[in-house]
Structure 1
Amino acid sequence: MRRTRQPELPGIHGVVRLDRRTKNLTKRLKPGEIAVIDHVDLDRVSAEALVDCKVAAVINVADSISGRYPNLGPEILVEAGIPLVDGIGREVFSTLHEGEKIRLHDGVLYRGEEVLAKGASQDSETVAESMDDARAGLSTQLEAFTANTLEYLRRERDLLLDGVGVPEIHTPMDGRHVLIVVRGYDYRDDLVALRPYIREYRPVLIGVDGGADALVENGYAPDLIIGDMDSVTDDTLKSGAEVVVHAYRDGRAPGSDRLERLGVQSIEFPATGTSEDVAMLLADSKGASLIVAVGTHNSLVEFLDKGRSGMASTFITRLRVGAKLVDAKGVSRLYRSRVSTFQIIALITAGLFVLSVAMVSIDAHTILWSILKARWNEIYFNVRELFT
C-alpha cells in the first residue's frame, strides 16, 4: 500500500546555531541556517555579518532595539528580507542543541510540532516605530557618553599627553604612512578603493583583530596585528606579523593565552579603551607621518551603536592624533568608475576588427605576427588603463 506524504509544516525550517557572542557565531554559520543570538541593541556590523552569512532567520533572546538609542542592526536585517524574532527568552540556550533542525513560524519556535518558545516578530513597521521611540533616549546616552569621556581623560592622561606606557616595537613607523584596518563599516569596499594608494605609498599595514584577516583576504601581509585576539584567525596570527596584545589596565591580557598556545610571540599594551584607539596611539607615538583609518568609528551614532562605554576613548583619541589622521570611511562611495560594460565590449570588438583586417590584408607571417602582438598589447593596456 502506497503511503501518502505528509505535508510540510509551515514556517522556516533550518539547522540552528547558537552563541551568546554574535561575532563568534558568524564564523560558523552557513547559508540557510537559523541563528540564535543574545544581543541587546543589535549593531550594524553584527547585522551585516549575519546578512553576509545568508542566514534563513535570526532569533534574538534579547531585545534587538532596547530603546536606549536608534541602533542600526535590525533595520539592516529587515531590509535584507531576513526574519527577525525578538525576546524569545534565554532558556532556549539550554533547550536547543547546536546543529538540530528547528522550525520558526509567526514568532513561535518549534521542534517538530513541539512549541519551544515564543517571541515578537519584527518587520519594517515595528522596527521604524521602535527606532522613533529610541531617538528619545539619545539625550540620556549623550550624558553617559560625556561622563565616560571625562573618566577616560582622567585615567589615561599620561598616555594621551606624554605617551607613557606605549611599548617598544620592532616595526619601523617613523616618517611613514600607516594604514589601520578595522572590521567596521564599509571596510571591504574602502580597502579595495585604496589599492592604488597602498601600491604607491606602501604604508605600514596594521590590522586590528579581524582587520588583519581583511588585509590577508585582499592579498596583503599585515606588518602589525593589534587587539585582544578574539576575532583573528590562527593562520593570520602565524603569518609573521608583529603582534601587540591589547591588555587591561589591571594587567589581564586574555589574548596572551591564545598566542602562547599558538607559539606566537607578542608584546602587551595595557590601556583603557578600544583596540582601534590603541593602534592609533601606537602609530602616533612611533612617529607616523600620516595615519589612514579604514572601518573605524567616527560619528556619534557609530560610537553608540558599538554599545560600549569605552567608545568614549575613540572620541578623545581622534582629537589626540587628529593632525595626522585621514579617515578613509566611505572613500569607495566618493568616486566610482563610470566605464560601462558596453564600452569595454566595444573597445575589445574594435581591437578584434583591427586584427581581422590585418590578417586578411597581410600575407607575410613574420609581419603578421608582429602586428598581432602590437595590437594585442595595445588592447591589453587600454583595458587595463580603464580599471587603474
Structure 2
Amino acid sequence: MKRPGLLSAVTLRDRRELPGLSGVARVDRDTDALLRRVGVREIAVLDQIDLDRTTADALIAAGVSAVVNASPSISGRFPNLGPEALLAAGITLVDGVGDDVFRRVRDGSKLRLYDGGVFLGEHLVTEGVPQSEDSVADAMEGAKRGLANQLEAFSANTIEFMHQDRALLLDGVGVPDVRVPLEGHHVVVVAGGTDHAADLAGLRRYIKEYHPVLVGVGAGADALWEGGYRPDLIVGDPADVSDRALTCGADVVVPAFADGHAPGLLRVQDLGASAVTFPASGNPEDLALLLAHHHGAALIITVGFQASLAEFLDRGRSSSNASTFLTRLRVGNLLVDGKAVAALYRSPVSAGAVLVLVGAVLLATLTALLVSDAGPALLGYLERVTSWVTHSVGGW
C-alpha cells in the first residue's frame, strides 16, 4: 500500500504539462473532405502544396488552432496567399512534415506541436518547418520570381481549354434552362471568397432598390441566406451547400462531367428537390457567369470572386484559371465587381451634415421673412404662440 502524499514517477510524468500546442487531429488527404469535418481548436493535418487563400479562410472559419501540412505551403512557384492569412489569424502552421504523417497520425488522436515537431504525447512523430510572419514574407518574395513561368503555363492551358469548351463559350452549347427569369435583369452572383460577407452587406441598398436575381455559388448560397436573402439560383457542388439552402425553392444547377455524370445530383434528389446538370470543365463560379450571360442578364455583379492577379494565380489550378480568364472575356462589359457597386452606393455626405444644411436653409428663410414686409406680422404670430404655450404649461 502506498503512503499518502507519495506519487510514483510515472504519475508525476503524466501530470507534467508538456510544452507546445495540443489538440485533436483531423487527418485527411482530401482537403475539401477535411474542411467539412474539422472543428474549433482542432489541428488540421492536410497535404496541399501552395496553400491557397480560399482553403485558409475555410480553416479560419472552422476555428482550427493549427495546421500541419505534409507539403510546402509555399513552393515558390507563385506567391500564394493562404499561409499569410493563417498566421494573421493566429493559427500555428507547421510546414513540410512529409507524407509519413498520414501513416503515423490517426484521425481523432491527441496531437502536440512544439518547435516544428509533431508529437503524440512525448513521442516525436515527425518534424517540419514552423512558419512565422518573417519566414512567410521571405518565401513570398522569392515566389514572386516564379510568376513568369506560371503565366507561360497558364497561356498553354488557356489554348487547351478553348479547344475543349469552344462550343460552350462561343455558342452556349450545354447551358441548361432554368425557371428563374434572367433576361433583362440585374444578377448578383455570390461565391464564398475573401470578404464575401462584408461585400454582400455593402450591396444592401443596391439590392433593395433594384431587386436583382440572387445567385449563390457553392457556399455563397448560404452566405446569401445568412445575409437575410433567399437565393433564386444555386450553382455548384451540393456538398458545399446546406440542406436549408438546397430546399429553399431556388433553382439548382449541378456541374457535371463531359459525359453528363454529376456526382452531387443524388444528394439534391434525396432532399426531394429538383436540379439540372451543367456539363463543362469550368469551375462553378464561371458556370454561373456563363449561365447568366447566356440567358440575357442586363448586368452581372460578382461578390467573393478573385479580382487581383495574386488572387487569380493563388488557386494554383491552371485549367481553372484558363476557364476564369476566358469566361470573363466572354461576359465582357456586363461584369462588375461588387466592391465597385457598393462604393457607388455609399453616400459621402453624413447625416449630421444633412441636418446642418437643412437647419441653415430654415434659418435663412426665417431671417428673410423677418426683414420683409411680413416680418411684423410673423413676430406678432410668434408672440401669440409663445404666450399660449406659457399659459397652457402654467395651467398644468
TM range (shorter): 0.7 to 0.9
The 8 Å contact of residues 260 and 277 in structure 2, kept in 1 or not, is answered as: no
Q: Does 1:319 align with 2:340?
A: no
Question: 2:72 touches 2:95 (CA, 8 Å); kept in 1?
Answer: yes
What amino acid does structure 1 have at the position aligned with 2:314?
D
SS across alignment from 1:254: coil
Map of 2:116 onto structure 1: 107
Q: 1:31 pairs with 37, 40, 48, which one?
A: 40
CA shift at 1:172, angstroms?
Answer: 0.8
1:246 aligned to 2:255?
A: yes
The answer to whether the 8 Å contact 1:247/1:271 transfers is yes
Q: Say if 2:199 and 2:303, in contact at 8 Å, map to a contact too.
A: yes
**Matching of residue 53 in structure 1 with residue 62 in structure 2:** yes
Which SS does the other structure have where 1:144 is aligned? helix
Shift of 1:95: 2.4
Q: CA deviation at 1:224?
A: 0.8
**Alignment CA distance shift 1:169-1:338 (3 Å):** closer
Instruction: Output the CA distance in 1 between the equivalents of 2:210 and 2:17.
Output: 59
Aligned residue runs from structure 1 range 75-114, under 5 A? 75-114=84-123
In structure 2, give the amino acid aligned to 1:318.
Answer: R
Letter of the aligned partner of 2:91 in structure 1?
I
Q: Which structure 1 segments of 5+ residues have no match? A: 344-357, 366-388
SS at match of 2:264: helix
Q: Give the TM-score normalised by the residue count of structure 1.
A: 0.83
SS for the counterpart of 1:166 is: coil
Q: Which amino acid aligns with 1:306?
A: R
The 10-residue stretch of structure 1 (202-211 or 44-53) with the greater mean CA deviation from structure 2: 44-53
Shift of 1:153: 1.8
Look up the match of 2:380. Answer: none
Q: Aligned pair in 2 of structure 1 residues 71, 198: CA closer, same or farther (>3 Å)?
A: same
The alignment's C-alpha RMSD in Å is 2.6
- Corresponding residue of 1:9: 18
Shift of 1:193: 0.5
User: In terms of Rg, which structure is larger?
Assistant: 2
Structure 2 match to 1:121? 130
8 Å Cα contact 1:149-1:312 kept in structure 2: yes
Distance 2:342 2:331 in 1: 23
CA distance in 2, matches of 1:364, 1:254: 82
Please state whether the residue corresponding to 2:281 is helix, strand or coil.
coil
Task: Output the CA distance in 2 between the equivalents of 1:327 and 1:303.
Answer: 14
Q: Equivalents in 1 of 2:277, 2:73: separation in Å?
A: 35
| CA separation of 1:312 and 1:287: change in aligned 2, threshold 3 A | same
Aligned residue number for residue 378 of structure 2 = none
Residue aligning to 1:378: none
* Separation of aligned partners in 2, 1:362 and 1:29: 68
Shift of 1:47: 1.3
Distance of 2:220 and 2:180 partners within structure 1? 18
Cα distance in structure 2, aligned partners of 1:231 and 1:125: 34
The change in CA–CA distance for 1:330 and 1:106 in structure 2 (over 3 A counts) is farther
Partners of 1:224 and 1:112 in 2: how far apart?
Answer: 49
Alpha-carbon contact 1:208-1:225 (below 8 Å) kept: yes
Q: Deviation digits for residues 359-383 of structure 1, max 9, x if unmatched?
A: xx96999xxxxxxxxxxxxxxxxxx
Would the alpha carbon gap of residues 266 and 131 (structure 1) be closer, same or farther in structure 2, given more than 3 Å must change? Answer: same
SS at match of 2:188: strand
So what's the TM-score if we normalise by structure 2? 0.81
CA contact (8 A) 1:189 1:332 kept: no
Residue 335 of structure 1: CA displacement? 8.5
Q: Are residue 20 (structure 1) and residue 29 (structure 2) matched? A: yes
